[in-house]
Amino acid sequence: MGLIITKENIPLLQVLDSIKYIKKIPDTTIAASCKRFVFLINNMTEKEKNTMIRLSMKYNPFTRALLGALMENSGNLNITEKLKRSLNPITSYKLSGIQNTLETAKNWNIL
């Protein structure tokens, strides 16, 4: 099953692409980017959040882990189980300074 791009999911894919390339976003810090992602997630409907999780399954494990940490930080524990199951529990991901910004990062093995 391929990734079907629709007019409705383009903004969600843009957020996922931004999460994937968080280290390369110019003129900002990882901390500021994470705060912006949390703001965006908090303003999404439940349907949009579920769609974003579904779409994220086509992204790399780091992107899914960071999305899970961001979702969990936004209080969306009930929908992050699919993300958690899609990740290898012994793999860790490096993102310097994330622990100070996103307290849920350690739950997703982001160091």
The pLDDT of residue 2 is above 80: no
Mean pLDDT value of segment 25-35: 93
Contact 37/12 with Cβ under 8 angstroms? no
pLDDT at position 5: 85
Identify the bridge partners of residue 110 per DSSP, sorted by sequence position.
93
Q: What's residue 3's pLDDT?
A: 73
Read off the amino acid at residue 75. G
User: In the numeric block, which tokens belong to residue 7?
Assistant: 């007019």
Q: What are phi and psi of 87, to 5 degrees?
A: -105, 150
pLDDT tens digits along 33-92: 999 999 999 999 999 999 999 999 999 999 999 999 999 998 888 899 999 999 999 999
pTM over 0.85: yes
